[in-house]
Amino acid sequence: MFHLFHGSDTYSQRETLAALLAKEGDAAMLSLNTTRLDNKISFSDLQSACDAMPFLARVRVVLVHDLFSSVPDKAFMEKLEAYLPHLPPTTRLIFMESQALPPSHRIIRLADKDKIGYVKKFDQPKGHDLERWVRTHVEERGGRIDPQAAGLLAANVGGDLQALTNEIEKLVLYKKDEAIIESADVVLLSPYAAEETIFELVDALGGRQAARAAELFQEKLHEGADPFYLFSMFIRQFRLLLQTRALLDGGERPAGIAEQLKQRPFVADKLARQARNFTLPQLEQIYRRLLEIDVDVKTGKADLLTALHLLVAGLTVE
C-alpha cells in the first residue's frame, strides 16, 4: 500500500507522517532505510528505490516530494499506475504533495478503485477550524484553553501552524496543570503576529485608501479574527500613533521614540512614518471615537462589528 498526502497544510502532513513512521520500529534503523526523492526523478529511479530490500529493518521508506506538481509525462504515469499494485510489501511509499490534487487525479482514482493506497487531503485550517485545531493541540499536550483564548491565539498567530505549536507549548508550560489558559495568558506570552496587517490597515487609513482598508479589514475577519481583538489592536495602534505624533511634534527622532515608547527600532520607524499621515488633533479625535465605541458597546448602544465597519469607512473620508 502507498500513501498520498496532499494539500496546503504541510505541517499537519509532517505530523501525520511522523506518527505513521513511529509505528515502523527503531527510528535510527528506519532513518538508514529511508530514501527521499524529488519531482525530478525518473521512473526507474523511483522503482529502484522501492524495490530495494530493507537493511536490518522491517521496512524501507520512500518519500517522494511534490512529484505530481510537475505533471509527470504520460509514459511516467502509465508505468507508475502499472507498478503500484505490485509494490513490495516491505516498502512504504509515501507521496507528499504541498498542493491539493483534484479528486479526478489518476493516482487518487487508482487508490480508491483498487484499495491499494491511502489518500488524505490536508487543508490549511482557517476561522473556527483553526480555533478547533488550537484547542485540540492544547489538549494533546495536557492543557486546557477557553474558547476566547483559543480564538485570540488563532487570530494573533494566524495559519502558521509551526508558530502556533510553539505558542501552545509555551502557554501549556506556563500554566502547567494549574488552570485553564485564558485570554490574559495569550496577551502576556504570545507576540502580536497580526501586527503587520494592522500596520498595513493603518497605512491604508492614513492614505485615505478606502478600498484597501476595507479589504484588509475583511481579510482579518475572514481569517476568524475576533472583532474584540481587532478593536483592541486599533486602540493599541492609535494610542502609539498619538504618542508618536506628540513626540515628533516635540522634535523627537525615531531612535528617541523607540527608547521612550519601548518599541523595537523598526517598529518606531513605522510608527513615525504612519504618524506623519495624521495631525495631532486628528489622532486625538480618533482616540476619542474609540472611547465612544467602547462605551456604546459595553452599554448595549452599539454592535462592535458594525461600529468597526463605520470607523474604517469614516477614517478614509475624513
Please write the tens of the pLDDT for every residue from 184-222.
788 777 755 555 566 677 777 766 777 888 888 887 777
Do 90 and 178 belong to one domain? no
Contact present, 57 and 29 (Cβ < 8 Å)? yes
Please give the helix or strand (H or E) that residue 296 lies within, else none: helix 280-298
Number of H helices, E strands in the chain: 16, 5
Find the CATH number of the domain harbouring 105: 3.40.50.300
DSSP bridge pairs for 91: 60
Asked if residue 318 has pLDDT above 70, the reply is no
Are 206 and 182 found together in one domain? no
Cβ within 8 Å of residue 14, ≥6 positions away: none
Distance CA 196, CA 202 (A): 10
Q: Measure the CA–CA gap between 90 and 58, rounded to whole angstroms.
A: 7
Give the model's pLDDT for residue 244: 93
Give the CA distances from residue 277 to residues 73, 213, 255, in Å, rounded to whole numbers and listed in that order. Answer: 55, 15, 19
Can you give the residue range of the structural domain that contains 294?
A: 195-315
Task: Identify whether the C-beta of residue 313 lies closer than 8 Å to the C-beta of residue 289.
Answer: no
pLDDT, tens only, 269-287:
888 988 998 899 999 999 9
Per-residue model confidence (pLDDT) at position 204: 78
Spell out the alpha helix ranges (H) of 158-206: 161-175, 183-189, 195-206
By DSSP bridging, strand 2-6 and strand 117-121 are parallel
Q: What is the DSSP letter of 42?
A: -
- The model's confidence at residue 97, banded by pLDDT at 50, 70 and 90, is very high
Identify the domain boundary among 121, 138, 173.
121
- Write down which residue in 99, 121, 143 finishes a domain: 121
Give the pLDDT of residue 195: 57
Together in a domain, 223 and 306: yes
Which of 77, 100, 121 is the last residue in one of the domains?
121
pLDDT digits (tens, 9 = 90+) for 171-182: 999 888 668 998
Tell me, yes or no, whether 95 and 141 share the same domain.
no
Q: Can you tell me which residue has the cell 477550524? A: 129
Q: Output 178 or 142, whichever has higher pLDDT.
A: 142
pLDDT at residue 293 greater than cutoff 90: yes
Share of the chain above pLDDT 70, in %: 94
**pLDDT reported for residue 3:** 96
**Stated pTM of the model:** 0.60
Q: Are residues 9 and 115 in the same domain?
A: yes
206 shares its domain with 290: yes
Which of 49-53, 126-130, 205-209, 253-257 has the lowest average pLDDT?
205-209
pLDDT of residue 156: 72
As for how many domains the chain has, the answer is 3
CATH code, 231 = 1.20.272.10
Yes or no: say if 97 and 4 are a contact pair by the CB < 8 Å rule: yes
Could you tell me the CA-to-CA distances from 43 to 67, 290, 298 in Å, in that order? 11, 63, 65
What pLDDT is stored for residue 205 in this prediction?
75
Helix 227-249 / helix 280-298 crossing angle, nearest 10 deg = 150
Residues 199 and 280 in one domain: yes
In the predicted structure, residue 132 carries a pLDDT above the cut 80: yes
The pLDDT of 88-115, averaged and rounded, is: 92
Answer yes or no: is pLDDT of 266 > 60: yes
Exposed e or buried b per residue across 181-207, where buried means at least 16 C-beta atoms within 10 angstroms of its C-beta: bbbebbeeebebbbeebbbebbbbbbe
Bridge partners (DSSP) listed for residue 97: 6
Task: Cell 521496512: give the residue.
Answer: 59
**Which amino acid appears at position 255 of this protein?**
A
Mean pLDDT of the chain, nearest integer: 87
Q: Is the domain of 140 the same as that of 173? A: yes
Is residue 199 located within the same domain as residue 98?
Answer: no
pLDDT 10s digits, 302-314: 899 899 888 888 8
Greater confidence, 48 or 129? 48
* Residue 79 pLDDT > 90: yes
Confidence of residue 40 (pLDDT cuts 50, 70, 90): confident
Mean pLDDT of 154-160: 76
Considering the domain architecture, whether residues 96 and 165 belong to the same structural domain is answered as no
